[in-house]
Amino acid sequence: MTAAELEAGVSREPDESEMNIFSDNGSQSVVSQLLDHINSHEKRGGGFSERFLRWRRRYLPVGGDNRRDHGSLKHSGPLVSGAAYCISSCSMILMNKVVLSTYNFNAGISLMLYQNLISCLVVALLKFSGVVSVEKFNWKLIRVWLPVNVIFVGMLISGMYSLKYINVAMVTILKNATNIITAIGELYMFRKRQNNKVWAAMFMMIISAISGGITDLTFNAVGYTWQTANCVLTASYSLTLRRVMDKAKQSTKSGSLNEVSMVLLNNLLSLPFGITLVILLGEWRYVISTDVTKDAMFWVVATASGFLGLAISFTSMWFLHQTGPTTYSLVGSLNKVPISLSGLLLFNVPLSLPNFFSILFGLFAGVVFARAKMS
């Protein structure tokens, strides 16, 4: 899950097969390895004191997944990582809305380009500092990844423009349609069938999207068109990513492609596409002439949105490793509630009672969908 998927952050709840792509359940922590060594020493009659053994059993319990962590860290880890993921994803959506609507910035492609450039620079800095590891890219990998990246760019751009014209709550509800498109795609491409509960939840999503659009007092045909395109592209991104993942891994020297490498690869390849579109569509003229870009606070907000986009990638990966695909999926659906309510309150969205209930129904449908995927 790159910054895109999670800007697709409020897009859809990933299922276990997708999230297991990024899980690293085979690795053990340093503490875990140390305790394994102690265990083997005990079996050979190593003679550790009874006091140390009592301390170890109390504070370093053996979990079912072969990991031994300090008691307090073990319990607080999922809570801290989950909170970080929810805050960063919620903040990212709201920050983009501020840039595009409050500042009335009419250059969504340029904003995407700027955010992706920030992501590349930060990941490169972390790589050279030895904080993260990144696969070495080659032309074979780039050729395999290009179709994914083209969809990635389209997904980000359509998401930017839909957010400009539609209020945050309705964007969140309409993004539920991505689940339906993805389920249909999975059926035809991977022969994956969903259970009746999932289809019932998706039917609820359709009802909420239609009723929400009909009762939306700020309805904008251009915005809804962009959002429809975004749903199609987000689903296509997920399906294409799953199809090319194995081939992409085979194209690397190590035979793997971790999350950080995907973030850098996607954002790096998006730069030439973004520059080309900014030039061809004449967006650069607007950027250098508009008064908005002369406002220092605008650049603070735009830069913060770029950092938040990257933060979503890392916090989602952290949260996923701390919990699992099922918990990650459920929290992702529940996280839409504060995002929607914050969007309604912060931007003074005109709201009718039927529209409000449509939004609540859509949020409920998202939670039902996540629960149905677990069964």
Q: Characterize 158-178 residue by residue with b for buried, 16 or more Cβ atoms within 10 angstroms of its Cβ, and e for exposed.
A: bbbbbbbbbbbbbbbbbbbbb
- pLDDT tens digits along 101-111: 889 999 999 99
Q: Poorest-confidence range of 32-41, 87-96, 218-227?
A: 32-41
Q: Poorest-confidence range of 64-68, 75-79, 338-342?
A: 64-68
- pLDDT of 65 higher than 70: no
The pLDDT of residue 40 is 52
357 pLDDT band, cuts 50/70/90, is very high
- pLDDT of 3 higher than 70: no
Distance between CA atoms of residues 101 and 89, nearest Å: 18
Q: Between 358 and 39, whose confidence is greater?
A: 358
Mean pLDDT computed over 280-292: 94
The pLDDT of residue 22 is 47
- pLDDT of 290 higher than 70: yes
- pLDDT of 6 higher than 80: no
User: Is residue 258 a contact partner of residue 135, using CB atoms and an 8 Å limit?
Assistant: yes
Beta-bridge partner residues of 62:
68
Contacts of 200 (CB under 8 A, 6+ apart): 368, 372
- pLDDT tens digits along 112-128: 999 999 999 999 999 99
- pLDDT of 330 higher than 60: yes
The pLDDT of residue 254 is 86
Most confident of 54-58, 214-218, 316-320: 214-218
Length of the chain: 375
153 pLDDT band, cuts 50/70/90, is very high
H helices, E strands: number in the chain: 17, 0
